[in-house]
Amino acid sequence: MKRLLSGIKPTGEVTLGNYIGALRQFVEMQKDYESFVFVADLHALTVYNDPNELRRRIRDIVAIYLACGLDPKYTTLFIQSENLYHTNLSWVLECNSYMGELSRMTQFKDKSKGKGNEAISCGLFTYPALMAADILLYDADVVPVGVDQKQHVELARNLAERFNNKYGTTFKVPEPIISKAGAKIYDLQNPQKKMSKTDNSSKGCIMLLEDIESAKKKIMSAVTDSENRIYYDKENKPGISNLLVIYSSLKGIALEEVEQVFKDSNYGEFKKSVAEEVAQFLSSLQNKYKAIIESGEADKILDESNEKVRQIAEAKVKDVFSKIGVGR
């Protein structure tokens, strides 16, 4: 069976964009792959986090994974920092990456823009090598991600090929999987910009654990245009197109079908339907989340997968160390 691997980092609260762009795919694909999904907690350290908040968000992501339908029968769930081999391989990959290629990562360019060198952590720069390690450690065949992470998966491919050429076949070369619709959910107030965890407080971002009424209000006040006709046109109608994608993803129906349903509606009616759909989705998810947190089942699941992921990663790192000539 082919392997799937992906993760979410606990910087800020998990958003509807993370669900539609990534998590939803993990759930849909889990039965067709040997699946590994983790909390990328070491990735959160590229910026400062309050330690208690960080730990709370790590637990929340695990509970959200389960609440969204990741099933331990099919998916091995784990926390990155609990498997120390990730950072071992990351160092080796950093030493096989070039300043040039890491400088070309658009996320690095965006996040460091306008900041002086003293304000950017070295981790922000080398972070894609850690992400490559996450993927290559497990010989992942496919990596479902939103479009903003595609370039990082492509770097992982390049690093795998470079290493294999230098030292002999060691790593599987992974494929990014980007969903056809919903690969990028936009900010509700600024539909040119990605809906992002780092803008949690904004009116443009819906969080999975957010108060339902507040989420509905955000949909109702989403920026649109003045045409008052509902159809998908990403260039000229980014706000309406974003709402159409959100509705179609949550409802599980094609965009064309959604356009048909709302062809005679005005923006107010359409937004109300989208708000209702989001509210239903959030409230069902949040009920499951609460039950999972209260049951304490997440710890048991994580404890059970730890040995499995450790063994896989240890074997890979030993193979790498032996090939590159470190140790005895």
Residues that bind ligand TYM in the complex, under the rule CB under 6 A: 5-9, 17-18, 20-22, 40, 43, 131, 134-135, 143, 145-146, 148-149, 183-185, 194-195
Catalytic residue among 31, 73, 109, 111: 111
Note if 316 is an active site residue.
no
**What 8-state DSSP symbol labels residue 185?**
P
Q: Which two tokens stand for residue 16?
A: 């509807």
Contact 73, 301 (CB under 8 A): no
Catalytic status, residue 115 = no
Provide, rounded to whole angstroms, the least separation between the CB of residue 225 and ligand TYM. 20
| Token pair of 71 as six digits | 């099933």
State the DSSP string of 92-125. HHHTTS-HHHHHT-HHHHHHHTT--GGGS-HHHH
CA distances 123 to 90, 91, 160, 213, 317, Å, are 11, 12, 20, 38, 21
Nearer to ligand TYM (CB atom), residue 8 or residue 250? 8
Which CB, 179 or 265, lies closer to ligand TYM? 179
Q: Which is nearer to ligand TYM, 195 or 301 (CB)?
A: 195
Alpha helices in the chain (DSSP H): 16-18, 24-29, 51-68, 85-94, 99-103, 106-112, 122-136, 150-167, 212-220, 238-251, 255-261, 267-295, 297-324
Q: Which of 2, 31, 113, 194 is the catalytic position?
A: 194
DSSP letter, residue 142: E
C-beta of 43 vs 157, nearer to ligand TYM = 43
Which of left, alpha, beta for 12 (phi over 0: left; psi -120 to 50: alpha)?
A: left
CB 228, min distance to ligand TYM, A: 26
Q: Is 180 a catalytic residue?
A: no
Q: At 235, phi and psi to the nearest 5?
A: -70, -50
Q: Which one, 199 or 319, has the nearer CB to ligand TYM?
A: 199
Least CB distance to ligand TYM at residue 144 (A): 7
Nearest distance from C-beta of residue 226 to ligand TYM, angstroms:
25
Residues facing residue 75 across a β-bridge = 35
- Residue 296: CB minimum distance to ligand TYM, A: 25
Q: How far is CA 29 from CA 42, 97, 131, 218, 266, in A?
A: 25, 31, 21, 30, 36
- Cα torsion 197, 15, 82, 299 to 10°: value is 140
The distance of closest approach from Cβ of residue 159 to ligand TYM in the complex, given in angstroms and rounded to an integer, is: 13
Q: Between 10 and 302, name the residue whose CB sits nearer to ligand TYM.
A: 10
Q: Active-site residue among 197, 216, 218, 237?
A: 197
Q: Where in the sequence numbering do the catalytic residues fall?
A: 111, 194, 197
